[in-house]
């Protein structure tokens, strides 16, 4: 049995948290490869080390003095080192080098990655095991995606030489020879890559909640944990904002069927959530999870006889492609079509998109609206249960919430509804209460 264990920022924010992590690793000798994040928040108003580093990078690129900022970051690590009583271990030299590099040649990804790099060094010293710099084993291609072939070859070889090791999360080596990071929260992706490269039996992802919960605990008080969830359900939920696991983290393990177990560093005895390829375990509820995001825009296009015009949809989508905007959803009627996009991608380009739609598709009218929130109600059980949509709409109607859009995924795994931003939290709570009954 071989396990890869990834610990998130809050699990490694202080010496006290590090000690819990140490106990977890020592409690099971199959926990052989450890992927740490950078120190996260110790309390609500605290700042994550990654954010502190990104701020220092910005200051350095503006030519400002970063000594004080670097001192504050170093203090975060020194507090951990002292608390763990790591004798003969210091990051003084690393900080000198990093500060020098940031001043001479500020690079954003390099700056952000140092949070995990330094925490990885502490973790390796604390556990007394090897440290593998991710820049030597994880590679990106020219497009900025993972270079699968090179990564799995090098990382696989390297891991086969180490019985136990620490591999810092979040970064690797870019095609141009500079450090490159995944998007925020990307240590989850590293953990998944290490699990696949080492042919692990389980990928344990340790965080600050007892598994994937049916809804965001910041919206619904004390939501139930999900015991089993499939990769596909999870992908829908994490894409729609259930941030507990990075949306790309399932791909590496998915292709070889390694299950992910989400666990709580502060309550290690809790079972957590199993993310699996497939399961015949009976579900407690028809709905597995609810997630959502605010701030979408809708572009409502109408044209008489749109249904009969071959190529109309393609012309509309071309207007978005020309402006380099990806679309989220596209519900359509006989003479109407709605495109849903992220507000932050669309806002600056709205007039350019509208004129392109007119030029390419010659519609009767184009209307745009902002302030839409999308909510995904996801469940593998929805396919065989009748009345799910009815229940959902009744729940929202009872709260006086106006549904602006409905889109049922073609897999019958999810129903996406659009509501106004202001109704977002109330809608999620109402849906939760309707489906999660005991």
Residues of this chain that interact with ligand ASP (CB under 6 A) are 9, 37-38, 48, 50, 115, 169-170, 184-188
Q: Where are the alpha helices (DSSP H) in 44-160?
A: 49-61, 67-83, 92-104, 108-127, 148-160
Maximum distance among all alpha carbons in the chain?
77
DSSP SS3 for 173 = strand
Tally of CB atoms within 10 A around 434: 17
Taking the complex as a whole, the smallest distance from the CB of residue 237 to ligand ADP amounts, in Å, to 7
Taking the complex as a whole, the smallest distance from the CB of residue 181 to ligand ADP amounts, in Å, to 14
Q: Binding partner of residue 50 among ligand ADP, Mg ion, ligand ASP, none, CB under 5 to 8 Å per kind?
A: ligand ASP
Tell which one of 77, 152, 212, 435 touches ligand ADP (CB under 6 A): 212
Count Cβ neighbours within 10 Å for each residue of 62-91 and write b for 16 or more, e otherwise.
eeeebeebbeebbebbeebbeebeeeeeeb
- By rule CB under 6 A, what count of residues binds ligand ADP? 19
DSSP 3-17: EEEEE-GGGGSSHHH
Q: Which 239-258 positions form the footprint of ligand ADP (CB under 6 A)?
A: 242-244
DSSP SS3 for 416 = strand
Helix 148-160 × helix 187-197 angle, to 10°: 70
Q: Report the sign of the C-alpha dihedral through residues 245, 247, 248, 253, in that order.
A: positive
Comparing CB distances to ligand ASP, the nearer of 112 and 378 is: 112
Q: Binding partner of residue 115 among Mg ion, ligand ASP, ligand ADP, none, CB under 5 to 8 Å per kind?
A: ligand ASP
Q: 248 Cβ partners below 8 Å, 6+ apart?
A: 182, 183, 186, 189
Q: Binding partner of residue 252 among Mg ion, ligand ASP, ligand ADP, none, CB under 5 to 8 Å per kind?
A: none
Comparing CB distances to ligand ASP, the nearer of 38 and 155 is: 38
Judged by CB under 6 A, does residue 123 bind ligand ADP? no
Question: Nearest CA to 55 among 102, 119, 118?
Answer: 102
Q: Which residue is nearest to Mg ion (CB)?
A: 185
Q: Which residue is nearest to ligand ADP (CB)?
A: 8
Judged by CB under 6 A, does residue 207 bind ligand ADP? yes
Number of Cα atoms under 13 Å in the Cβ half of residue 357: 24
Beta-strand ranges (E) seen in 350-403 are 365-378
Judged by CB under 6 A, does residue 261 bind ligand ADP? no
Judged by CB under 6 A, does residue 216 bind ligand ADP? yes
Q: Sheet containing 273-276: which strands, arranged edge to edge? A: 130-131, 165-166, 31-36, 3-7, 202-207, 260-264, 273-276, 228-230
- Residues 380-399, one symbol each (x = binds ligand ADP by CB under 6 A, - = not), give --------------------
CA-angle at 106, arms to 117 and 67, nearest 5°:
80
Q: Binding partner of residue 186 among ligand ADP, Mg ion, ligand ASP, none, CB under 5 to 8 Å per kind?
A: ligand ASP
Judged by CB under 6 A, does residue 272 bind ligand ADP? no
Contact 302, 228 (CB under 8 A): no
- Extract the tokens encoding 247: 């949306």
Q: Binding partner of residue 169 among ligand ADP, ligand ASP, Mg ion, none, CB under 5 to 8 Å per kind?
A: ligand ASP
Judged by CB under 6 A, does residue 266 bind ligand ADP? no
Judged by CB under 6 A, does residue 281 bind ligand ADP? no
Q: Binding partner of residue 174 among ligand ADP, Mg ion, ligand ASP, none, CB under 5 to 8 Å per kind?
A: none
Q: Binding partner of residue 56 among ligand ADP, Mg ion, ligand ASP, none, CB under 5 to 8 Å per kind?
A: none
Taking the complex as a whole, the smallest distance from the CB of residue 336 to Mg ion amounts, in Å, to 39
- Residues 185-204, one symbol each (x = binds ligand ADP by CB under 6 A, - = not), give x-------------------
Which residue carries 């290490």 as its tokens? Answer: 194
DSSP state of 228: E
Only one of the segments 5-13, 53-61, 365-373, 411-419 lies at the binding site for ligand ADP (rule: CB under 6 A); that segment is: 5-13
Comparing CB distances to ligand ASP, the nearer of 187 and 198 is: 187
The footprint of ligand ADP (CB under 6 A) covers 8-11, 37, 40, 185, 207-209, 212-213, 215-218, 242-244
């Amino acid at each position: 049995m071989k396990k890869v264990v990834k610990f998130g920022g809050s699990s490694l924010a202080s010496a006290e948290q590090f000690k819990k992590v140490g106990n977890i690793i020592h409690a099971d000798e199959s926990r052989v490869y450890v992927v740490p994040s950078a120190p996260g928040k110790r309390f609500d108003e605290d700042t994550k080390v990654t954010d502190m580093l990104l701020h220092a990078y910005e200051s350095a690129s503006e030519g400002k003095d970063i000594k004080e900022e670097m001192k504050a970051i170093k203090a975060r690590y020194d507090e951990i080192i002292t608390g763990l009583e790591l004798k003969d271990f210091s990051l003084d030299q690393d900080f000198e080098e990093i500060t020098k590099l940031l001043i001479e040649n500020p690079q954003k990804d390099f700056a952000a990655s140092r949070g995990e790099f330094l925490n990885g060094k502490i973790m390796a010293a604390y556990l007394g095991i090897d440290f593998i710099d991710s820049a030597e084993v994880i590679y990106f291609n020219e497009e900025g995606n993972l270079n699968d072939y090179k990564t799995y070859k090098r990382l696989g070889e390297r891991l086969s030489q180490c019985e136990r090791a620490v591999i810092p999360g979040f970064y690797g080596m870019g095609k141009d020879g500079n450090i490159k990071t995944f998007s925020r929260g990307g240590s989850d992706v590293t953990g998944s890559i290490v699990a696949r490269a080492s042919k692990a039996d389980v990928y344990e992802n340790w965080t600050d909640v007892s598994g994937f919960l049916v809804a965001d605990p910041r919206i619904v008080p004390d939501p139930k944990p999900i015991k089993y969830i499939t990769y596909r359900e999870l992908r829908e939920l994490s894409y729609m904002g259930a941030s507990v696991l990075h949306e790309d983290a399932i791909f590496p393990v998915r292709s070889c069927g390694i299950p992910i177990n989400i666990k709580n560093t502060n309550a290690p005895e809790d079972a957590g959530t199993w993310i699996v390829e497939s399961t015949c375990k009976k579900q407690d509820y028809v709905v597995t999870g609810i997630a959502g995001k605010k701030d979408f825009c809708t572009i409502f296009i109408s044209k008489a006889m749109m249904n009969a015009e071959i190529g109309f949809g393609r012309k509309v989508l071309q207007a978005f492609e020309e402006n380099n905007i990806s679309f989220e959803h596209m519900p359509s009627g006989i003479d109407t079509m709605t495109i849903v996009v992220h507000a932050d991608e669309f806002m600056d380009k709205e007039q350019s998109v509208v004129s392109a739609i007119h030029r390419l598709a010659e519609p009767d009218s184009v209307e745009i609206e902002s302030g839409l929130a999308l909510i995904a109600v996801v469940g593998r059980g929805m396919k065989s249960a009748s009345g799910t949509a009815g229940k959902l709409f009744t729940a929202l109607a009872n709260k006086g919430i106006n549904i602006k859009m409905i889109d049922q995924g073609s897999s019958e795994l999810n129903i996406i509804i659009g509501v106004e931003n202001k109704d977002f939290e109330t809608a999620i709570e109402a849906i939760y209460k309707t489906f999660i009954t005991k």
